[in-house]
Structure formats: C-alpha cells, structure tokens
Amino acid sequence: MSLFQYDFMLRALVGALIIGLAAPSLGIYLVQRRLALIGDGIGHVALTGVGAGLLFNQSPVLMAVVAAALGAVVIELVRERGRTSGDLALALLFYGGIAGGVMLVGLSDASNANLNAYLFGALTTTSRTDLVTIAVLGVAVLVTMVALRPALFAVCHDEEYARVSGLPVRTLNLLLAVTTAVTVTIAMRAVGVLLISALMVVPVATAQQVTRGFRSTMAMAMAVGLLAAGSGVWVAAVADTAPGASVVVLAIASFLVVAVGAAVWRSVLRRRTPAAPAPTEPHEVVLR
C-alpha cells in the first residue's frame, strides 16, 4: 500500500517539492553575496512573529511574514549604511529573534508542540490552505528569481558596477531581502527555522562542485533541492523520521557524494593529462 495515497502525504510531498525549488533559486544570490546564514537570522525573527501571533490569537504565519520582512529590511539597511558589520547585525537578529519568540510563546497558551513544529518543521500537518499559501508564494519567489536573474546577479556580484550601469540597486536589494523573508516563512513549515538556511545553501554548494556558470549552477541547485525534498519526504514516510531533518540530511549527503566524486574525477583528469615538456635552454649558434 502506497503511503502517498493519503491526502496529508501528498500535500507534504507537493509542499516540499515547491520549497525545494524555490529555496535554492534564492539561495544562490545569498551565497553570491556571502550572506549564506541570513536565512537563520530571518528565521529566528520569524519565530518572534509566530510567538506574537499565538499570543494575540492572530495568524502565526501572517505574523511571521510581517516580522521576517521587517527583519530582512533592517538587515539590508544596516548592511547598506555600513555602521554595523553584517555578521554583527545577523548575530543580533539571531539571538534576539529566538529569545523573543520563545518568550512570547511562553506567555501564550500554546504548548511546546506548537513551538517545536515551527522550530523543526511539521510538513505532514500541512493543510489545504497551507499548501495553497506555499504554492502561491513559492511560485512568486521562483518566478522573481528567474525573471530578474541578470539584474540580481549584477547587484550581488558588484554593487558599484550595477549602480553605475543604472540599475535600481537599493530597490533590488530590498526586493531580495523581502523575498528571503517570504522564502523563510514558507520553508519554516517544511524544515523549521533551525534548518532553513541548509535548504537554501546546501544545494547551491553542491552545484558549485561541478558547474561553472551562474545559470547552470542555479539550474543544478534547483534540481538538487527538488531531489532532496522529494526523497526526504519519502524517507520520512518509510522510516518514520522528521521530514525536515530527512530533507536536510539527504541534501548534505548529496553534497558529500558530489564533492567526493568531483574530486576523484579531477584527480583522474590530472593523471591522464600529459605533463608539459620542461623548457629547454636556447642553443648557442656558432657561426663558422
């Protein structure tokens, strides 16, 4: 009997596949900007929004989106002004976000199970409404990242060049920040705030082992994310493990396999390539 004959498993699978595509499509820009851990910082701010929603009997997901978007904008403005280093800004949001979230959840009537669902994900409890929300926001993120790829790449690669070229750098940076917040919020349902960055970064790191161009890296990262998400849900259903943890473990396993395989392949190529002849000293010509 197939486990995917149940509606909740199908919803979990579809939600995971959408997130597996959307998260790496955004993560490649974050890696390019050396902000691989920003997902963790925004995720912890989103947890504060969840706590506020539970405390005031509002939608936790909606409050998480608002809190994450505000946190992302604050990070971007602090980074742009340069008054505080990016690492310090992330650390402040990282610790302040999770502390605020835990405190607000404690003040509410929510149980520890509700908090764990947001910390570690609860993909199998995805409702039809949740799935629609994930689908709409995930497709919006995916389309935005693909459609604006040239402009976003230019901004992430060299802001000064992009500004001289006439691109709206601040607008694109804020768009990237808000899109990160949205992605964190929808991915929170799948893997939890403690594992969000892994789904954004690990597929990109895997693709970078075997690709060179930005477009090919993006395409392969999305493929790896899709494969890890789908196989992670299947492993979780068969082995009765947490879906979010299963997805991340398989994504890391794929990175290790690809990294080792790429290293072996490069070693084989070096052995097959004949060594260049050593340069010889010029012969002295004697005229008789």
Instruction: Catalogue all structural domains in the chain, each as residue range(s) with its CATH number.
Output: 7-272 (1.10.3470.10)
pLDDT at position 72 is 83
- Predicted TM-score (pTM) of this structure: 0.83
Pair of tokens at residue 166: 């006439």
pLDDT band at 279 (very low <50, low <70, confident <90, very high): low
**In Å, how far are 52, 264, 269 from 272, measured between CA atoms?**
62, 13, 5
Pair of tokens at residue 236: 């979780």
What does the pLDDT look like over 173-202, one tens digit per residue?
889 888 988 888 888 877 777 678 888 999
**Is 35 within 8 Å of 86 (Cβ atoms)?**
yes
pLDDT band at 256 (very low <50, low <70, confident <90, very high): very high
pLDDT at position 276 is 54
- Kindly report which listed range (4-8, 20-24, 138-142, 146-150) carries the lowest average pLDDT score: 4-8
pLDDT band at 137 (very low <50, low <70, confident <90, very high): confident
Pair of tokens at residue 129: 């409404």
pLDDT at position 221 is 95
- Kindly report which listed range (73-77, 153-157, 228-232) carries the lowest average pLDDT score: 73-77
Give yes or no for residue 228 having a pLDDT over 80.
Answer: yes
Count of CA atoms in the C-beta half-sphere (13 A) of 98: 15
H helix runs in 82-213, sequence order? 86-107, 112-120, 128-147, 149-157, 159-164, 169-191, 196-208
Q: Specify the higher pLDDT residue, 112 or 140.
A: 140
pLDDT at position 182 is 87
**Is 221 within 8 Å of 28 (Cβ atoms)?**
yes
Distance of alpha carbon 22 from alpha carbon 7, whole angstroms: 23
**Is 194 within 8 Å of 89 (Cβ atoms)?**
no
**Is 74 within 8 Å of 18 (Cβ atoms)?**
no
Give yes or no for residue 112 having a pLDDT over 70.
Answer: no
Q: Rounded mean pLDDT of 205-212?
A: 92
Give yes or no for residue 3 having a pLDDT over 70.
Answer: no
pLDDT at position 287 is 45
pLDDT band at 223 (very low <50, low <70, confident <90, very high): very high
Angle between helices 86-107 and 112-120 (to 10 degrees): 150
Q: Rounded mean pLDDT of 68-78?
A: 81
Distance of alpha carbon 1 from alpha carbon 202, whole angstroms: 33
**Is 228 within 8 Å of 20 (Cβ atoms)?**
yes
pLDDT at position 97 is 81
pLDDT at position 34 is 80
**Is 23 within 8 Å of 187 (Cβ atoms)?**
yes
**Is 46 within 8 Å of 189 (Cβ atoms)?**
no
Residue where the block lists tokens 């929004």: 49
What does the pLDDT look like over 79-94, one tens digit per residue?
776 655 556 766 777 7
| Sign of the torsion angle spanned by Cα atoms 34, 39, 40, 42 | positive
3-state secondary structure of 111: coil
pLDDT at position 86 is 56
Q: Specify the higher pLDDT residue, 171 or 60.
A: 171
Would you give the DSSP letter of residue 242? -
Q: Rounded mean pLDDT of 132-156?
A: 90
Count how many residues are written for the chain: 288
**Is 118 within 8 Å of 192 (Cβ atoms)?**
yes
pLDDT at position 142 is 93
Q: Pick from 160, 146, 181: which is nearest to 70 by CA?
A: 181
pLDDT at position 285 is 47
pLDDT band at 50 (very low <50, low <70, confident <90, very high): confident
pLDDT band at 242 (very low <50, low <70, confident <90, very high): confident
